[in-house]
Chains A and B, each alone.
Chain A
């Protein structure tokens, strides 16, 4: 039942009570004041009016409330009331009638108990009415008494109904509240059950990183129970440390990071010390929470023990590393023997055999490269790829690498040009210093130029260097086959090779660009590609530029640790602001180094 209907019914019940009381008072008053007024005619008229009113009254209720329980009881009540009026005319013994006492009780009870009782009372009334008609006939002497009875009955029934509705409303309201609070506690129980049954540690902290929720898995993992962890700074509980076993500070705190980035973050290189002093590696993901004004209000952290996974990963890397190392020796032997066989000073073979040996040599070199790349990847995964960091004059490094690659590219009848700031040739290059390992960076460049050469059949390769105050960008453009849009997204993934007939003849390990990305990202740069199928591709990478102060600092650190060791491609800090003449590249013996 809707609230509106309940309200209407309440009003009607009140009206009914007021009406009944009114009729009783009026009739009683008239009877006392003007006895002569009450003739048979006026009484019959009153009876007719009241009957009509009863009909309209229940008809309206019936219309409005259809067949709801309450409407039915009101309807039946009205019918009975109407009948009572007629009963008055037939006179059953006035107020002395034993029926009346029973009847009024039934009416009161009916309002409370509803349909079944109404039907019972209705049947009794109808039965009694029929009996009276059959035995008595119509008399009018008790009319006045019964009019008063009618009014009182109506009033009593209305009051009863009103009280009933009120009680029921209160009950409904109470049950609603009970139901709602029941739902709430059910939700709470559900949420608690979910949180506690999650296999991962769940921790909710407030904006001051104090623990609010700490689930079962979190408790098992850390050895802290929820009540002792409650309201304590999370890091006193988890005692997170980086892989270098350094405690976290405000700068690298993952919660601060999540709030700063306003996005979920994941770390899988943190360790925690359990309450019993056991060290475990954690994977920690944090979702920051914000209030309506965008200020951090808390965060939800999920974490789990990944010590085992890390151990498996380490064993896998170790296996790959060992296997590659072990297999390299026989590969080197095969390569060496083939070289000997092809060397006219050592052995004699006919031209056909020499051709086949040449192919075998190329293949075994490719195999060697594969092992080398696998090792590099293993190192990258272990975070050892970087090597020592130096301040590098990017222009000089690019120039010397391009010079080195000239021969290889020209052999394919392609051109290789180096363009600085839109001008080709030996333009005055601005000095772009970046922090990186020169050998690694050179490998990246060689790899990109070599790749460009592999996928280009005619035209040329252009290497560019541009920069602004913050970063320097190197671009390697070719006029080759280009890269399909669906491949671009995967290009820098491990072992991804574009699946077309070209790759089978071109040969590669699918690791080169992955390693390039790892190296560039290691030095805080970005690498990406722009390409159009059939027109060519441009690979670009940027590296952040160093300030003069940073250069000096790195230089000092470098000279302090490696006295007398100079690195090719690294300019002296005191060099004039012009590009130095391309240095005779000292490492021609290593010019075949590739990450392919």
Chain B
């Protein structure tokens, strides 16, 4: 069973995504900010990190940068989720090594689930 680390500072969205991923029979662990995300990712070694960009303390971009430069997590799949729809932000995310870059306002919950399936399916 694939393990997903969900990093999201909004408590409601955290609950919604957790419940939805759980319904797909994924094991879901959560983190509410960048620091916690980094600690959890090293400890739990998830298969996929769903990473919010706009977070207090450390931004999603910085978290991704550190994940990619940490030996334990450098191959972990990452989906970035953000409200930033600027093309430059997408390019920044992809340059940092995100497997997918989703703009929150442009995707539904089901789209996120599809993306998760797509990436985890390809990993197997």
Chain A residues with CB under 8 Å of chain B are 325, 328-330, 332-333, 335-337, 339-340, 343, 345-346, 365, 368, 371-372, 375, 387-388, 437, 439, 562, 565, 588-590, 592-593
Chain A contacts for B111, CB-based, 8 A: 589-590, 592
Q: Which of A332, A365, A437, A589 sits near B115, CB closer than 8 Å?
A: A589
Bound complex: CA A268 to CA B13 (Å): 43
Bound complex: CA A589 to CA B118 (Å): 11
Q: Which of A333, A346, A368, A588 sits near B13, CB closer than 8 Å?
A: A333
15 other contacts beyond A333-B12, A333-B16, with CB at 8 A cut-off? A330-B12, A333-B13, A339-B20, A339-B110, A340-B19, A340-B20, A343-B20, A345-B23, A346-B19, A346-B23, A372-B105, A387-B87, A388-B87, A592-B107, A593-B106
User: Could you give 10 example pairs across A and B, Cβ below 8 Å?
Assistant: A328-B83, A340-B16, A340-B19, A340-B20, A371-B105, A562-B91, A565-B94, A589-B107, A589-B114, A593-B106
Chain B contacts for A375, CB-based, 8 A: 105
Closest chain B residue, CB of each to CB of A331: B105
Give chain B nearest CB distance to A386 CB in angstroms: 10
A336 touches B16 (CB 8 A): yes
Give chain B nearest CB distance to A470 CB in angstroms: 28
Bound complex: CA A365 to CA B108 (Å): 9
Is there a chain A Cβ closer than 8 Å to B6's Cβ?
no
Bound complex: CA A45 to CA B23 (Å): 145
Chain B contacts for A328, CB-based, 8 A: 83, 104-105
Give the interface SS of chain B, mostly helix, strand, loop or mixed.
helix
Closest chain B residue, CB of each to CB of A337: B16
Chain B contacts for A590, CB-based, 8 A: 103, 106-107, 111
Q: Which of A336, A346, A565, A588 sits near B12, CB closer than 8 Å?
A: A336
Chain B contacts for A588, CB-based, 8 A: 114
Known: A337-B12, A565-B94, A590-B106. A325 touches B20 (CB 8 A): no
Give chain B nearest CB distance to A445 CB in angstroms: 16
Give the interface SS of chain A, mostly helix, strand, loop or mixed.
helix
A346 touches B108 (CB 8 A): no
Give chain A nearest CB distance to B14 CB in angstroms: 10
A339 touches B91 (CB 8 A): no
Bound complex: CA A372 to CA B107 (Å): 12
Chain A contacts for B110, CB-based, 8 A: 339
Give chain A nearest CB distance to B68 CB in angstroms: 16
B107 touches A368 (CB 8 A): no
**Residues 21-69 of B contacting A (Cβ, < 8 Å):** 22-24
Bound complex: CA A335 to CA B86 (Å): 24
Bound complex: CA A368 to CA B107 (Å): 11
Bound complex: CA A339 to CA B12 (Å): 13
- Highest count of chain B CB atoms <10 Å: which of A340, A371, A375: A340
Bound complex: CA A484 to CA B19 (Å): 49
B20 touches A332 (CB 8 A): no
B20 touches A335 (CB 8 A): no
The 10 closest A-B pairs by CB, nearest first: A336-B16, A333-B12, A345-B23, A589-B111, A346-B23, A339-B109, A387-B87, A593-B106, A372-B105, A340-B19
Bound complex: CA A320 to CA B76 (Å): 38
Chain A contacts for B105, CB-based, 8 A: 328, 368, 371-372, 375
Q: Which of B24, B83, B87 sits near A325, CB closer than 8 Å?
A: B83
Chain B contacts for A343, CB-based, 8 A: 20, 23
Bound complex: CA A51 to CA B102 (Å): 121
Give chain A nearest CB distance to B44 CB in angstroms: 23
Is there a chain A Cβ closer than 8 Å to B10's Cβ?
yes
Q: Which of B20, B106, B114, B115 sits near A346, CB closer than 8 Å?
A: B20
Known: A339-B16, A340-B20, A346-B23. A333 touches B109 (CB 8 A): no
Closest chain A residue, CB of each to CB of B103: A590
Bound complex: CA A329 to CA B109 (Å): 13
B107 touches A336 (CB 8 A): no
Bound complex: CA A330 to CA B105 (Å): 12
B108 touches A592 (CB 8 A): yes
Closest chain B residue, CB of each to CB of A324: B105
**Residues 1-23 of B contacting A (Cβ, < 8 Å):** 10, 12-13, 16-17, 19-20, 22-23
Give chain A nearest CB distance to B99 CB in angstroms: 13
Q: Which of B24, B103, B108 sits near A335, CB closer than 8 Å?
A: B108
Bound complex: CA A337 to CA B16 (Å): 6
- Highest count of chain A CB atoms <10 Å: which of B20, B83, B108, B111: B108
Closest chain B residue, CB of each to CB of A347: B19
Bound complex: CA A337 to CA B48 (Å): 23
Bound complex: CA A333 to CA B91 (Å): 27
Chain B contacts for A345, CB-based, 8 A: 23-24
Bound complex: CA A328 to CA B84 (Å): 13
Bound complex: CA A438 to CA B111 (Å): 21
Chain A contacts for B19, CB-based, 8 A: 340, 346
Bound complex: CA A388 to CA B16 (Å): 34
Known: A336-B16, A340-B16, A589-B114. A329 touches B10 (CB 8 A): yes
Closest chain B residue, CB of each to CB of A567: B87
Bound complex: CA A388 to CA B86 (Å): 10
